[in-house]
């Protein structure tokens, strides 16, 4: 009898907390794109042992102090004649949302975009070395498969060129980019910000051409801020904070591969935005939708202590996501007896995606 009451109590608690704790993508909202984010931020410089890269001059790494690694990262460089402090606000912003950020200067303030592209790639090399440096607080904490680049003005043009030079880059954030006649044949998802009244890099001569010259097969977004000048995207607060919100969402969608940000972009941030004078987009993403267990596919037991049986006739691919949309595991379901083993994970809610269906699965301890 006592065992029966215990089991009943567990089920009652489970159902009471189902909707509030585990609904899919519930924490991914416009309100969650705060500045600063929820994590503490610390910094590293060359005085702390950070590598002195030959292609740039001076670097500061901003990193979260209480987030869960491994972390995605972004390298940022300023524009022509500008110093790193002109884009400094992006460091604590990204880091407070769990993203390692390195901001570098240039060997010459007159460096052109190609040199700035090389500087960004060198900055990413510094992060790789920081990931293996024994005395680094980021030892083993950086996901080297999730690197992005960004920059302002000539730095934005350099960020686009860095993606051409290194096809492993997972994302580009170009801030009022300057680069005439650009060769931008790359596959890195890119968001391009511009200012409607930018006299230094007029959109019709730079940002718009950047968008047009980026292949249509590449996920891309152009966001022009109404009445914005050349420095409108130097901080996340640009365009009434729409710049930071869109940049962060784009990063999380394509670099962190969190599909929850797809609907946030398409249904909220880019749906007739008040701060924009022009928006152009050509990108594909997947909007996660949950479905109840159907007659075609049945997952059981639910809740489970580890093994989930899959009632499905045909072979299929599957992915297991955390409640925050992080991909935890993927594989293929084959044969007549199909299972997914969640026993290595702690008790929580998970989302199992099989073909075009997503199922909520609760794992008990």
Q: Between the CA of residue 120 and those of 42, 77, 193, what are the distances in Å?
A: 21, 7, 19
| Residue 153: active-site member | yes
- Mark 23-51 as b/e (b = at least 16 C-beta within 10 Å): ebbeebeeeebebebebebeebeeeeebb
Q: How far apart are CA 34 and CA 41, in angstroms?
A: 14
Q: Please, are residues 245 and 271 in contact by the beta-carbon 8 Å criterion?
A: no
- Closest residue by Cα to residue 76 from 98, 54, 59: 59
Q: Which of 186, 206, 210, 230 is catalytic?
A: 230
In the block, residue with structure tokens 């400094």: 88
97 is known as an active-site residue: no
Catalytic residue among 96, 153, 249, 275: 153
Q: Tell the residue number behind the tokens 């407070």, with chain if given.
A: 96
- List C-alpha distances in Å: 109 to 31, 137, 154, 294, 295: 37, 31, 11, 61, 64
- Under 8 Å between Cβ of 33 and 61: no
Q: Has 230 been annotated as catalytic?
A: yes
The active-site residue out of 73, 136, 188, 198 is: 198
In angstroms, rounded to a whole number, what is the distance separating the alpha carbons of residues 129 and 59? 14
**Residues labelled catalytic:** 153, 198, 230
């Amino acid at each position: 009898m006592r065992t029966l009451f215990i089991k009943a109590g567990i089920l009652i608690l489970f159902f009471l907390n189902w909707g509030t704790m585990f609904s899919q993508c519930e924490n991914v909202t416009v309100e969650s794109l705060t500045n600063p984010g929820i994590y503490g931020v610390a910094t590293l410089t060359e005085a702390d042992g950070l590598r002195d890269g030959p292609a740039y001059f001076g670097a500061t790494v901003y990193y979260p102090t209480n987030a869960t690694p491994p972390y995605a990262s972004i390298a940022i460089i300023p524009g022509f004649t500008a110093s790193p402090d002109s884009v400094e606000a992006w460091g604590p912003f990204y880091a407070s949302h769990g993203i390692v950020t390195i901001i570098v200067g240039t060997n010459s303030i007159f460096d052109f975009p190609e040199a700035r592209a090389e500087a960004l790639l060198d900055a990413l090399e510094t992060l790789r070395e920081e990931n293996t440096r024994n005395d680094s607080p980021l030892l083993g904490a950086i996901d080297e498969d999730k690197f992005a680049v960004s920059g302002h003005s000539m730095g934005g043009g350099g960020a686009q060129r860095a993606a051409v030079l290194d096809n492993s880059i997972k994302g580009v954030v170009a801030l009022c980019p300057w680069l005439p006649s650009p060769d931008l044949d790359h596959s890195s998802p890119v968001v391009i910000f511009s200012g409607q009244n930018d006299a230094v890099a007029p959109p019709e001569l730079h940002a718009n051409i950047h968008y047009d010259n980026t292949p249509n097969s590449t996920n891309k977004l152009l966001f022009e801020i109404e009445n914005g000048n050349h420095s409108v995207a130097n901080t996340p607060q640009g365009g009434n904070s729409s710049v930071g919100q869109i940049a962060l969402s784009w990063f999380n969608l394509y670099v962190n591969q969190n599909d929850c940000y797809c609907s946030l972009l398409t249904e909220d941030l880019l749906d007739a935005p008040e701060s924009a004078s022009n928006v152009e987009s050509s990108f594909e993403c997947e909007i996660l939708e949950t479905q109840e267990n159907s007659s075609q596919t049945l997952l059981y037991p639910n809740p489970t202590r580890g093994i989930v049986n899959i009632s499905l006739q045909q072979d299929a691919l599957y992915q297991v996501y955390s409640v925050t949309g992080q991909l935890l595991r993927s594989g293929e379901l084959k044969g007549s007896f199909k299972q997914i083993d969640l026993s290595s994970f702690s008790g929580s809610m998970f989302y199992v995606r099989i073909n075009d269906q997503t199922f909520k699965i609760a794992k008990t301890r």
